[in-house]
Amino acid sequence: MSLEPKNDQEIQDPKSRVRALQSLLVEKGLLSHEAIDAAISAYEHNIGPQNGAKIVARAWVDADFKERLLTDPVSAIGEFNFEMGSQHVQVVENTDKVHNVVVCTLCSCYPWSVLGLPPTWYKSPEYRARTVLEPRSVLREFGLDLDGDIEVKVHDSSADIRYMVLPQRPSGTESLTESELAAIVTRDSMIGVSQIVVT
C-alpha cells in the first residue's frame, strides 16, 4: 500500500490522509479497528467540551460548588470523576468587570479532558502572539466586542497549569435545569473568545 496521494485533492484533504494512515497502521498490525473505535468513543463521550459544560452548569446552579471550583479546581472537577491525567486546571471567572481569555504562547497547552481537542486557531502562531499583545482586537475578530470599562485578562497556559474560563451565566436562563444549562455552554466560551447568548 502506498501513502502517495492519488491527486491534489487528497493532499489537501486531511480526512483522506488520516484514512490512509489508519489503513496502513491496521494493515501492519500496529493498530486495531477496536482501538481506533475506543479512542473515538472516548473523545465523543468521556473527553471533551461536554465535560467542561457540565462543570460550568454546576457552578451556575450551586454556589458552594462554584466556590470550590474557583479555590480548589482539582478537587471540584474531581467530583465529576473525569479522567484528568496529570493536568492541573485553574478556573478563572468572567464577571461584569473582568473578561478572561486563555492562550498558550509557548505551544498549545490546553485542558483536553474538560475542553476536548484544541481548535486549530488556538494552536496558530497568530492567535498565540496576538492574544497577548492585542486581546481586544482578537476578541473582536471572534465577534466579541467588549465595553471599554471591562478589564481583559489574558491567561497563559503551560505544561504545569491549564486554564478554563467560567463564563457568565446569561440572563433569561433562570428556569433552565442544570443539564439544559450545560447544553448552551460552548467550548469557545470556556476559552474566553465568546460569550454565551441565549435568544
CA distances from 78 to 52, 55, 65, 178 (A): 12, 10, 11, 18
**What pairs with residue 90 in β-bridges?**
163
Q: Taking a C-beta distance cutoff of 8 angstroms, is the pair 173, 181 a contact? A: yes
Catalytic residue list: 104, 107-109
- Burial class of residue 198 in the structure, from the number of CB atoms within 10 Å of its CB (0-12 exposed, 13-18 middle, 19+ buried): exposed
Residues 6+ apart with CB under 8 A from 135: 101, 152, 154
Pairing of strands 98-103, 151-156: parallel
Q: What is the DSSP letter of 99?
A: E
CA distances from 192 to 51, 101, 128 (A): 16, 4, 14
- What type of residue is 114? V
